[in-house]
Structure 1
Amino acid sequence: MKVSLSKGFTLAAAASAAMLLAACGGGGGDSSSSSTPSATTSINGKAVDFYLSGATVSFLDCKDSAGKALTTTTNSTGDFTFPANCTKSALSVSGGTDIGTGLPFNGVMQAPAVEYRSGITPMISPLTTLVAQLGADQAAALATKLGLGGKDLLNADPLTDADVLKAAVVVQQLVEQISKTLQGVATGAGGTLSADAAAAAAAKAVAGVINSASGTVSLTSTATVTDAIKASVKNAQSSLPSTLQGSIDTVAANVAALATPLVSKQVSDVSTALGTIKLGGNATATVSALKGSGALNALKDSSQSTLSSTLASATSASVLTNAGNAGNLATLGNAVATGSAADVQSAAGSVQGLDSGKLAAVVDKVTLNDYVQASNILINNQSVTIADQMSVVGDLSDIKATLKEIGAPFGTGATDIRLGLHYSYNGNTVDVVFEKVSLVFSGGNLVSATFPANTNYSFLVTGSVPVSATLANGAADSLSSGNGQFTLPYAAILNKVKNSGVLNSTQLAALTPSAPGSVDVAFAVAGVDGSDVKLGIGTGTAAKYTSRVTVQTSGSQVSGYGLKSTITLNQPS
């Protein structure tokens, strides 16, 4: 997939949409035409983020006798039927439950009015919402800029096309997080902005950014998110408090400085967690597999999060209309997105006029409570500080970390995890998934970590020696080394590949990370049932979560919290 992409739209956009889109037809015309339904033809559509169950569909161009838009309700798989004598209408959908997350759908999505085509099921999705902003004739161009060239965005069911599904989910999250930010901005300035108006401004902005791009768009990039937030603030200008309207360019720049780090991270987390989606035999199987891998946890977190609106609401009109605040607001935004509670408090001290109560709520939201703490990192038994770039002496053999239970990171369940390990070296990548690793803690300290016998693992090697396999572990492996240390056994991975007999010694040598050189490493953890197991570094108010990471083999996937870094391997002096 070429694009790193993901809730909301609005009935408020209906008025402008109706001016651009054709009104509802009555089913007239040549009955022999394949594009015109007969009097007895039913037109069926689908509402999809994942499928929306029990959602309300409004036919904006088809009215009842009182002049109100006709409505219907979706079934458990998002299906709905057009009313009699309504064969062409702009559509909107709201409410219901997203079958992917199991959460209420709080946004609004739209689709433009298009001509009926026999055998084609029209969609209402995050992607058709963007098309509604640009016009149906721009659907193909929009698809190309999203890295979906050749896809029919108006009629492609995302649950039957993995690339379209990922794009739709991530687009929806981008629109939703910007919408929440706009509502927070209005609240902080002493006003209000309806969810519909905020979503309208956000969707129009995202569509405009894509439309103006010169090539394929990455909707997780900070540049794209910055442009979309700025445009959304300007789109919402007339609905924002009057104290903001007169300095809208400054307000837009300041809101973008503050919110871009957080919005970009939330959307990137969703995109990363989804990985490369592999469709099941049906929608239920696809959703089940995504849940089991942990891939939907980031989406749930993003959908339920109020952090972006709370952060924005901590700013007042005096803060947002002061052009000199941009740098400090960016620092604060970065601290909220990737830092600790202490980092947020420190950064906030440089911005005068913040609401202390709202800021306290932000600090509370980023404070870690229930997590597995990783500390005292050793690579080849050499102590290192966790960073994006690390350096050690010698070939890569293993990475160790002291693990502790802080609070209740496993809930009431067993302390078992699924573990994904990845490294890239010398033009090759190696990905391994252990389906179960049993952890034992006592008094919060790690006592043992075991990869049990007869437990499945899978590996995928790509590059000069591509190979994949799923095997059962013959004998139990200990992944702990005393003193509460957990071992990520990169050397043992190669031994398992070797013992499988699928590669010879020369091929294995090409996969062995050796000095001098560099290797990209990563790991991800999730509960064996797909639940989130939060991983953090640091203690108290200095603690912060690690990154979202996904590791995939041909037959398995682990999406969860983890670490990733580039390690430089130096020869001994």
Structure 2
Amino acid sequence: MLNKISKIHVFTIAISSFLTACGDGGDNTQSSNFTPTTISGTAVDFYLKNADIKFDDCENTSIKTDANGHFSFTTTAACSESALTITGGIDIGTNLPFTGTLKFKKMDLKNLKNGTLVVSPLTSLEYFLEKAGQSNQLNTILKNLALNNINNISQFDPAKDGDAHTMAVVFIFQQLATQIEDRLQTINKDNGSTVFTQEQAAQITFDALISQLSTQPLFTAGSAKIDSEVLKSIVNKAIEIAKAQMNDPNNTIDPTFTDQVSSNIIAVSTAIDSIAQNGGTGANLLAELQKNPSLLETITETLKSPVYSDFFLANYDIAAIKASSETHPLHINSKNLSDTLAVQFKLANAKSELDDTVTLAFKLNGGNSAYHENLNIIFNNIQVKFNNQGSIVSAKILKNTVINVSSSSRKIQQLQFSVPEDTVISSNGKIFLNDLIPINSYINTLPIGSLVQVTVYIIPSAYTINPQLNLSQEKITIGNLTLKGSALTAYFKLS
């Protein structure tokens, strides 16, 4: 599993879904002298369709961009001043989910120039600078981004108003922010919950960007090629801030964090710069990118984050598992029921050898109309190595790792024991956990013909689970230990 996919940000969103009111729309929200104003907006990171636009200072008020990335709204007496946050949606330039965050600082919306606004990576920068009380650093950072001729950020559309170099710079800036945010959101607590919310990840990311770009340029002179040393200093600063905020040695950060973000952004900036060097407008750069599918594919593939996919349980793939039910169970021999503790998955978009620490948990509820037994197990601290194709190379549980077991069976009931030594639990790309606990004591209690419902919980540390797998988020509790993870349920009939 996964929680989230990488981001690619397309560069302009124009204007056209409709919000009739930011309050409840009734007469009691309108003061007698209030005149509603319709505002048109553009969200920039290439065009975002179906993105969520939240009015931060207007309770429960949000709208979406339309299929072309346009949005509009009408102010009310209850909602005429607000900051904006844009998340979600699909980048129509790359057809990838937008997983980043765009911000627009709190403004008097009814008095915007021309009734229009542009929400972009630059307005995000302005938002976080103001929040940090460092608005006076804006011009310095814009200069260090080689963006010296922007008079009004809230009205500036890089695709329409900027040249090719400007658009390339803003695009790469957003990709860098998104890459850092994505990886910060893969850090999990021991109980499987994420350490940082999307809002917190964005705050840490821009704190790091502001810290470093206040004193040094991000790009090499005259190009959109990123300075590799400055890039690494930004990522390392984000990690430093994250560690300070976590203040918990048990919450680990992937040691390849910096190298992965750096290599991805360097590759993307080199590719974009190759087009930007041809000159022209921001629109020209976008057009040239769309006319070069091989280059566009290189960029999109580079920016994809590793995600968990291709899940198997007891040799059944995810499609068969999801299709199973109480009335249409999968058939399994009782001798093979222990294979329900054998799992296999892959990391899509791996690109290189990768490591992760995974928690796996299982709930087995089996029996017939006259008899029923359950078995719950939590396996922490599973160290998994993947090759550059994303397949499992090896997996082991480290010495002294605690395994928690509970069961209604009198032969098991509740157990908690430590692994006496580092134990290899993988073979041929699969993880086998059935030898670590007395599962046969449970299986032998179930009569032939029993229906067994098996739910597996997957809680990775460094990488997310592909949201396209549509796994639910569920909890499992054994004693005082409660974990929450992506869950998948299968139904088996013993034969």
* TM-score, scaled relative to structure 1: 0.42
Give the structure with the larger strand fraction: 2
Give the structure with the larger helix fraction: 1
Q: Which has the higher contact order (CA 8 A, sep 6+)?
A: 2
* TM-score, scaled relative to structure 2: 0.49
